[in-house]
Amino acid sequence: MYCRKALIIGLLMAAAASCSEPPTVAGSFLNAGEGALAWTAKLVELGPRPPGSEAHRKQQALVVAALRATGADVEELAFTAQTPLGPVAMKNVIAKFYGASDRIVVISGHYDTLSRSGLHFVGANDGGSSAGLLLQLAEILAERKLQDDVWLAFFDGEESFVQWTGSDHTYGSRHQAAQWSVDGTAARINALINVDMIGDADLRLVYEQQSTPWLRDLVWDVGVRLGYTEVFADRSPAYIADDHVSFLQLGIPAVDLIDFEYGGGNSYWHNEHDTMDKLSAASFGVMLHVVLETIEQLAARP
């Protein structure tokens, strides 16, 4: 694992594996990254945000109000998920920015946080970062002229309630996929880009293998071309189950952008170490730059 700090020290590869040097981000995207980081902090301040909790309801109200303030067309899809712990009220939130074509690009992420008894989990990166990025993206898209529609999807219930087996996961995205399948939306979706755990100061994305190859490679090519070679260095095969799978099953091109090395050995994942101090504005800035450029590239495709 490469990082700048290790080069300066010039020894101890073990130090390289645990260092967290933020990526260098281009110009105005650092400001945008700071905006996304601030949104994430605002959500994390609410505390643990599992579906059905009071903090999650406050988060839903905050997200909906913030999206409405951008002028987006905001849709709330409330439903009851049948979980191993019984029925749980959930809600997906979709912010729609309209373009000139008939096609839709969806940028999605989950905004619920993991719930386990005895664990105080605020999910700064896992649940927080995806929602914070989407809220900042909404502010940017509101100022842009779009070719394709861009829909921002906040999925509820990505996390399992007991264990990530069977259907105890991705409740929101599976519900959304079913809805878009019956109402005809699915046929208009050109691509879906899912983000998850993308705020890590030491950002390196997984080259996820279930993801649609042409779309994954489009994102990787954009990332490398924009100079974020360390973030997009990995091309080793790995499989991550995430919300994108719900749409792949409908035949919608989809990619999962996830960093699954959060702390050495993924040691900050799903525990009390997933806090704001592990995140960086630069990482959010990189992701915003790459996602916005990918939207442009998708619009240019026939």
- Interface residues toward Zn ion, by CB under 5 A: 126
Nearer to Zn ion, 60 or 130 (CB): 130
For residues 225 and 298, give the distance between their C-alpha atoms in angstroms, rounded to a whole number: 15
Provide the pairing of β-strand 86-97 with 149-155. antiparallel
Q: Helices 281-300 and 28-44: crossing angle, nearest 10°?
A: 110
Q: How far is the CB of 48 from Zn ion (least distance, A)?
A: 13
Nearer to Zn ion, 35 or 172 (CB): 172
Q: How far is the CB of 6 from Zn ion (least distance, A)?
A: 28
For residues 130 and 291, give the distance between their C-alpha atoms in angstroms, rounded to a whole number: 12
Q: What is the side-by-side strand order in the sheet with 189-196?
A: 73-83, 86-97, 149-155, 104-110, 189-196, 254-258
Q: How far is the CB of 225 from Zn ion (least distance, A)?
A: 30
Provide the pairing of β-strand 73-83 with 86-97. antiparallel
155-176 exposure pattern, b = at least 16 Cβ within 10 A, e = fewer: bbbbbbbeeeeeebbbbbbbbb
Nearer to Zn ion, 114 or 218 (CB): 114
Side-chain-facing half-sphere of 169: CA atoms under 13 Å: 13
Nearer to Zn ion, 121 or 220 (CB): 121
DSSP string for 229-262:
TTTT---S-B----TTHHHHTTT--EEEEE----
Q: How far is the CB of 20 from Zn ion (least distance, A)?
A: 19
Side-chain-facing half-sphere of 132: CA atoms under 13 Å: 33
Q: How far is the CB of 50 from Zn ion (least distance, A)?
A: 11
Nearer to Zn ion, 121 or 284 (CB): 121
Q: How far is the CB of 159 from Zn ion (least distance, A)?
A: 5
Nearer to Zn ion, 229 or 266 (CB): 266
Q: How far is the CB of 126 from Zn ion (least distance, A)?
A: 4
**61's tokens:** 């109200």
Nearer to Zn ion, 126 or 156 (CB): 126
**96's tokens:** 């729609």
Closest residue by beta carbon to Zn ion: 126
Q: Which residues have C-beta within 8 Å of that of residue 28, sequence separation ≥ 6?
A: none
